[in-house]
Structure 1
Amino acid sequence: MPEPPVPRVLLEGLVLGESPRWYDGRLWLCDWGAGELLAVDADGHRETAARIDAFPFCIDPLPDGALLVLAGSDRRLLRRAPDGTLTPHADLRPLCDRPWNEVAAAGGGTAYANCIGFDLMTGEKPAGGIVALVAPDGSARTVADDLAFPNGMAVTPDGGTLLVAESYAARITAFDIAPDGGLTGRRVWAAVEGSAPDGIALDAEGALWFADVPNRRCVRVREGGEVLQTVDTDRGCFSCALGGPAAEPLLFVTAAEWRGTAGATEARTVRLLGAPAPAPAAQRP
């Protein structure tokens, strides 16, 4: 295993940073605590691209250049046009009445969104989560259930597999994507004992990075669970993304001093970190 790279601080002073995505030549991320959608350039200069009145909220770009915004506490999916206009895209309330957590764009304008099945921030007892398929016309249906805190998601470049991090089961779970977008063939893609996989990022070599809050690290694994590399930090890692120039790819990490749900929005301890990565991001389906 190679020596762990030392991440550098690109930005700090965020409240609760999540869902980083390399999009339109910049790194975009969500500051849940401040309700801000941010865009950050290579020099760490940031722009507030939108204000989102939801907690949590997450993003993922569509192939047509629009950005999906999952307003988790509102249980709805928004669409942000390249000119910044936000419009309603899908109403997810009929499928799950708890906060929605993550979104992953797929081919043909479809997307997957997940709901963890309980309200973590109010201390509700854990319950099984779901994954929903959202069609281009905004219609939605449940395609997987009984997930142990579904968190980060990613679709493979061929559009044939959805990967889901199950934080409370210490595993990355894979589903085959049927022609109609339904999910079949559920299986363990990687068991990651002792970890709580959160946000994930696929790379061009078929490996996957996952963020791990309690262990304060990001881990690169291949299918089957072999650990290829780790990036250690001084605070909990919530999510990660690959981006930057293809010749010098970076792993971007959002990390915070996690003090539990009661103090989640009380201090600005979040840093956006960057570390050299061995492979660029996987192509989007």
Structure 2
Amino acid sequence: MTTLKHHDPLCVYDVRATLAEGPTWSVEEKALYFVDIVEEKVHRFVPSTGERSVWTAPDRIGFLLPVEGGTFLAGLRDGLHRFDPKSGQFESDTVVEPEHPGNRLNDGCVDSKGRIWFGTMDNGETHPTGSIYRVLRGKDGLEVTHHDEGYTVSNGPTVSPCGKVLYVCDSPEQRIYAFDVDDAGELSNERVFATLTEGYPDGIVTDSEGTVWSGVWGGGKVLRFRPDGTQLEPIAMPVSNVTKVTFGGDDLKTVYVTTARKGLSEEVLAREEQAGSIFAFTTDVAGLPQRRFAL
């Protein structure tokens, strides 16, 4: 692979996805997994060899999170599904929000205690029917608990390195919220962590120092915020719709960035031919290792 530079994005996988999201780094495979929500695809990319694999999901897929044993838990339109890349098969596990048929699952993360946090959203992106949920392993299967509501497009979420702060976006509101998280996984003290004035906060992650990294939809950049809310210098991207980042490489200092073509005019796409592709650059502070959900 071409040598990457500090905070200087380079296209490493010219996939031109409609809506690439949910990047996840596999340390064991040295591979990047991500989804294309609109095209209902799961992608796997090995940067060192250029190897690429694609699987078709049974519906729109918002996130893909690793579980013990080499499989994944995926958030599809209707709920949580198990995905095995060896067979390429999806198996429905838990239906979420059957009372909101217009909603879908959108984004998720695994915290330091092995719990999954995910959000739902209105698939039409107009009604505040989305919520935030927590997933634990229960005696009889997955235990899904509702924790907050009123989101039109929930994004993130991500958890601080200490596990005591949960960050969640409501993208149309241009806000990133923070909650305190106790040992039992209960949320309290909701507050506004950051407000954007240009573009919309999309997927967010934290690095090993607790800095919050946010893709900016319609903003052509990656934003970073210290834990106290101080904004650091933005990292400019060559495409408008920046969806999320993850940290990879042996030292977790390579930043992989997913992007999207969705919503861009033909005129803009003519200027941004690689929109929807995967970009990468190096950074000084390592990310956090991808945590696994304990099924």
Whether the TM-score (by the shorter chain) exceeds 0.5 is: yes
- Between the aligned partners of 2:128 and 2:6, the Cα distance in structure 1 is 36
Q: Which of 237, 243, 249 is residue 238 of structure 1 equivalent to?
A: 243
Q: Deviations over 1:12-51 (max 9, x none)?
A: 1332211111123211111234322111112362432532
Tell whether 2:34 aligns with 1:29: yes
**Counterparts of 1:1-285 in structure 2 under 5 Å?**
5-16=7-18, 17-23=20-26, 24=28, 25-43=30-48, 45-48=50-53, 50-62=55-67, 65-71=70-76, 73=77, 75-81=78-84, 83-84=86-87, 86-94=90-98, 96-97=100-101, 98-116=103-121, 118-120=122-124, 125-136=126-137, 137-235=141-239, 236-246=241-251, 249-259=253-263, 269-283=275-289
Q: Which moved more, 1:205-214 or 1:150-159?
A: 150-159
Structure 2: unaligned runs, 5 residues or longer: 266-272
1:177 CA displacement: 2.2
Give the residue type in structure 1 aligned to 2:128: A
Work out whether residues 90 and 134 of structure 1, in 8 Å CA contact, stay in contact via their aligned partners in 2.
no
Work out whether residues 18 and 239 of structure 1, in 8 Å CA contact, stay in contact via their aligned partners in 2.
yes
1:184 CA displacement: 1.6
Q: Structure 1 residues 64 and 281 mapped into 2: Cα distance closer, same or farther (>3 Å)?
A: farther
Q: Structure 1 residues 41 and 69 mapped into 2: Cα distance closer, same or farther (>3 Å)?
A: same
Work out whether residues 220 and 228 of structure 1, in 8 Å CA contact, stay in contact via their aligned partners in 2.
yes
Q: Which moved more, 1:38-47 or 1:160-169?
A: 38-47
Give the residue type in structure 2 aligned to 1:129: G
- Between the aligned partners of 1:26 and 1:88, the Cα distance in structure 2 is 25
Work out whether residues 191 and 224 of structure 1, in 8 Å CA contact, stay in contact via their aligned partners in 2.
no
- Between the aligned partners of 1:268 and 1:239, the Cα distance in structure 2 is 16
Identical positions, percent: 20
Work out whether residues 23 and 258 of structure 2, in 8 Å CA contact, stay in contact via their aligned partners in 1.
yes
1:244 CA displacement: 1.2
SS of the aligned residue for 1:153 comes to strand
Q: Deviations over 1:76-133 (max 9, x none)?
A: 11123574554333221346431121122235543122112x222xxx6332421012
- Between the aligned partners of 2:111 and 2:99, the Cα distance in structure 1 is 20
1:195 CA displacement: 3.6
Work out whether residues 104 and 154 of structure 1, in 8 Å CA contact, stay in contact via their aligned partners in 2.
yes
Per the alignment, residue 264 of structure 1 pairs with none
SS of the aligned residue for 1:168 comes to helix
Work out whether residues 57 and 90 of structure 2, in 8 Å CA contact, stay in contact via their aligned partners in 1.
no
Work out whether residues 20 and 254 of structure 1, in 8 Å CA contact, stay in contact via their aligned partners in 2.
yes
Work out whether residues 195 and 215 of structure 1, in 8 Å CA contact, stay in contact via their aligned partners in 2.
yes
Work out whether residues 161 and 210 of structure 2, in 8 Å CA contact, stay in contact via their aligned partners in 1.
no
SS of the aligned residue for 2:48 comes to coil
Q: Structure 1 residues 152 and 46 mapped into 2: Cα distance closer, same or farther (>3 Å)?
A: farther
- Between the aligned partners of 1:205 and 1:102, the Cα distance in structure 2 is 22
1:209 CA displacement: 0.9
Work out whether residues 45 and 53 of structure 2, in 8 Å CA contact, stay in contact via their aligned partners in 1.
no
The RMSD of aligned alpha carbons is 2.8
- Between the aligned partners of 1:60 and 1:229, the Cα distance in structure 2 is 29
